[in-house]
Structure 1
Amino acid sequence: MRALKWILAVSGMCVALAGCGGGGGSSNTSTSSASGTSTPAAVSTAFADPTATPVSSGSANTVPIVVSSFSSVRNFPMVSVKVCAPGSGGIGVTCSTIDNVLVDTESFGLRLFASVIPTSTLSNLTQQVQGAQTVAECESFGSGNTWGTVRTADVSLSSEVAPNVPIQVIADPSLAATIPTGVNGCLVGTNMTTPTALGANGILGIGTSPNDCGANCQNSLVAGAYYVCTGSSCTPAQVTIPNQVTNPVTKFTTDNNGVIVEMAQVPDTGAATATGTLVFGIDTQSNNALSGTNATILPTTIAGDMDAVFEGRTYSKTAFFDSGSSGLYFQSTALTKASNGFYTPAAPTGMSAVFTAANSATATVKFNVSNGVTLINSGNYAFNNLGVSMFNALDIGMPFFYGRHMYYGISGQPASSAGAGPYVAYVSS
């Protein structure tokens, strides 16, 4: 899901799906003006589906991904994450494996609901404090806010161990203070206090940034970000980068420069389930090569954003590829849509947008859209062509990932054949 801490204002529609990635633009930038070079809105027939297949999830640097009916949210890719007491090395009696954690390429850091962490583990996750005050955080997504403490854990994903990682524990019962509101509070939105509200037991943010706020939260007070709390009272706080909620991949000993989300293709009518593989590292092992794949490579902002033009509208730093978004979210005047925001073309329709990367490279991004009402009514949970209306962002969500290998190079980590991160790359066959 789109983490909104990196932007100043959010506008638009997030309807029909609980797993909306959100999005939005800076208050200083218009993201939906009718400017730029017009791109084709639609073609008479759908594009051929991509055909890349996932590598085996049996290797030490991989974990399996599953899309299923675990919750009512469609297109939610889930993995299992093990959390342990800091300093345990990812083994021992303090460890617990948490299933059904959302794989999210547009946020950064691990966030788990306290209710899904056994007490024997939660009590051993060190609470972060400043002086005698508890450090808490609000993270805002298109689907709502997560409010909770910052704790330290050893995080294991397959055989990869990230030691001493600051994570967010959502709805931590040890935190007496309620979610901050008002001028210095969280962004307006639903306070997600249970796994049911999110549709997952937590969020594994493994996008292009090594942490969830960076220099902004280290050097200044950012409303709707970090707080220090005493009893029921909280005030905004500065938190150093090492103590911010951290992308756990950056803490691995090896395979720490990025991730690959690889999903098997699904039928155009949808599927009850879908499978894939989350691979750690890029160009570090035989199963994570980017070199030689002829991938489309797009350098991004640190938050994974790019510019784009779609149907004549220019999107400034508000176009992105997001595994945590259940659909393809965009604004179109060429497609019919239902009152709940689903696009409803009479036949599968190919759409295209021109993305411009941070290095000025361009790529034509092609995707298909079918009748969303029909798809949802099928009872399936995995769709490669589900489109939903949203203004002020071009959110290429989970439908685009099926049949592709999606690479995310993390900023500040060792370079791959694509150079240093941040970047997004993809292979379609």
Structure 2
Amino acid sequence: MRKIAWVIAAALGLGLAGCGGGGGSSSNTGTNSNTSINAPAGGTPPPTQSTTSSPPNVLAADASAVPTAVGPGNTIAVTVSRTGIHNQPMVSVTICAPGSNAGTRCATIPNVIVDTASFGLRLVRSAIPPATFSALTAETAQPSNLPLAECALFGSGYAWGSVHLADVAMSGEIAPSVPIHIIGDSDLTVAAPSECQVGRPLVTPADLGANGILGIGVSPNDCGSACANNAVSTFYYTNAGTVTSVPVSGQITNPVTLFGRDSNGVILEMGQVSDSGSATAQGTLVFGIDTQANNALSGTSATLIRTNGNGDFASIYSGSTLTKTFFDSGSTVLFFPDLTIPVDSASGYYIPAATVGRTATLVATSPASVSLGFNIANGATLNASGNNAFNNLGIYMSRQFDFGMPFFYGRHVYYGISGKTSTGGGTGPYVAYVSS
């Protein structure tokens, strides 16, 4: 999902998502991109269909890695089911009064999108029970001491809301006093600044297609030093609508970074689904990398890729180098440029007459490069199936490769957080994956 890149949109009845990593980030140099949550309707309108010869059409074997069992205290269940938008991985997140060790005035919020390409927890105000919300501490801007607000831009809309502190709990993990984004907070009476009002407002669960977004990508926070050193438009404001700087410790924070020993990263593990789509899909979100027996990276022979702070790396596809390539569970499809595959002009979905196979070359660290095969089926046919989880759904988008949710089925995908270390990955940021 990526802040300022894609958010929920629907075409052909399918949710397009693009929350993703380094792809469509803000133009503010130095800030972290939070673009996930679905995708712009139809992606980028494709130019005239290519008449050149197609790349080799070799169908890829489906990935077959099996998710770790849910149960240990560093695991939570992930479910894809009917939410109105396809390929949305959902978890439940518990928030409590800050400083209570997740023991006071708690509420468990279901249907929160797992977004590996944005950073920080964002919850819709109406999904939080009043008793819990009243226990959260409103963060203030300095030196004005006015309540702090944030603008989160996505590809098809904007989320405007307040910043509060909450203890965040998932399974046995607790992150104390985490700055979280409260979207659509009615106590924030000032309208979103004009710089923030890009696209439609995202205020309710219906607008977002979920009760919130759990951003657990490679960055510890959603802006970093840029917002700490300067007042950056489209990020933080006072409740008077004045742009303001915010210390890193006060910015919307990836809650995983505040866990105990499992704070160095996450693994999203999804079971494989049928090539014609499945009604549901199940997986596991595992906290920590090389910290417990169930989260090993070392010794797995995983493909390891160093990234920038947004989670971006490079790939080569059809002879072109795409420097904005990323693994993004908040994007509901694979976004990439290929004019040799028929495209629906209205939605941007690829609609080949029969499933096609393609290959991208990832510029990795270990090994130095790796070929990654994937398949693309007819988006209209998949939509008509009535299923909700698809491993071969794609949309045309130029100049980048967003490996959205279809990539995750049958894989264990690791995210090493910037500045944190693991035995198998070294110092983050990095991503890694195993397919069997």
TM-score of the two chains, using structure 2 as the length reference: 0.89
In structure 1, which of residues 116, 119, 127 is the aligned counterpart of residue 130 of structure 2? Answer: 119
What corresponds to 2:208 in structure 1? Answer: 198
Letter in 2 for 1:118: P
Q: Does the CA-based 8 Å contact 1:162-1:248 persist in structure 2? A: yes
**Structure 1 residues 312-345: Cα deviation after superposition (integer angstroms, max 9, x where no partner):** 33322x1100000000011111100112211011
Distance 2:156 2:370 in 1: 29
What corresponds to 1:343 in structure 2? Answer: 350
1:60 aligns with 2:73: yes
Q: Does the CA-based 8 Å contact 1:19-1:324 persist in structure 2? A: no
Q: Mapping of 1:347-426 within 5 angstroms? A: 347-357=354-364, 361-426=368-433
1:178 aligns with 2:185: no
Distance 2:77 2:353 in 1: 35
More displaced 10-residue stretch of structure 1: 333-342 or 296-305 = 333-342
Q: Does the CA-based 8 Å contact 1:306-1:358 persist in structure 2? A: no
Partner SS state of residue 164, structure 1: strand
Q: Does the CA-based 8 Å contact 2:303-2:366 persist in structure 1? A: no
Distance 2:173 2:404 in 1: 27
Q: Does the CA-based 8 Å contact 1:112-1:202 persist in structure 2? A: yes
**Structure 1 residues 234-264: Cα deviation after superposition (integer angstroms, max 9, x where no partner):** 0111000000000000000111100000000
Distance 1:25 1:355 in 2: 21
Distance 1:173 1:358 in 2: 47
Q: Mapping of 1:185-224 within 5 angstroms? A: 185-186=195-196, 188-224=198-234
1:329 aligns with 2:335: yes
What corresponds to 1:319 in structure 2? Answer: 325
Letter in 2 for 1:75: N
TM-fit CA distance, 1:356: 2.2
Partner SS state of residue 228, structure 2: helix
In structure 2, which of residues 18, 21, 24 is the aligned counterpart of residue 21 of structure 1? Answer: 18
Q: Does the CA-based 8 Å contact 1:42-1:350 persist in structure 2? A: no
What corresponds to 1:108 in structure 2? Answer: 119
Give the number of aligned pairs.
Answer: 405
Distance 2:278 2:58 in 1: 21
TM-fit CA distance, 1:15: 6.6
TM-fit CA distance, 1:132: 3.4
What is the RMSD computed on CA atoms of the aligned residues? 2.2
Distance 1:392 1:235 in 2: 35
Q: Does the CA-based 8 Å contact 2:3-2:25 persist in structure 1? A: no
TM-fit CA distance, 1:354: 1.9
**Unaligned 5+ runs, structure 1:** 5-9, 33-39
**Structure 1 residues 385-424: Cα deviation after superposition (integer angstroms, max 9, x where no partner):** 0001122321100000000000000001233311011001
Q: Mapping of 1:126-275 within 5 angstroms? A: 126-130=137-141, 131-181=144-194, 185-186=195-196, 188-230=198-240, 234-275=241-282
Q: Does the CA-based 8 Å contact 2:217-2:417 persist in structure 1? A: yes
Change (3 A) 1:192 1:14: closer
Letter in 1 for 2:17: C
Distance 1:361 1:152 in 2: 42
TM-fit CA distance, 1:355: 2.3
TM-score of the two chains, using structure 1 as the length reference: 0.90
Distance 1:178 1:18 in 2: 28
Letter in 2 for 1:126: T
Q: Does the CA-based 8 Å contact 1:20-1:143 persist in structure 2? A: no
Distance 1:28 1:132 in 2: 25
What corresponds to 1:83 in structure 2? Answer: 95
Change (3 A) 1:27 1:332: farther
Partner SS state of residue 250, structure 1: helix
Q: Does the CA-based 8 Å contact 1:298-1:357 persist in structure 2? A: yes
Q: Does the CA-based 8 Å contact 2:10-2:85 persist in structure 1? A: no
TM-fit CA distance, 1:27: 6.7
Letter in 2 for 1:125: L
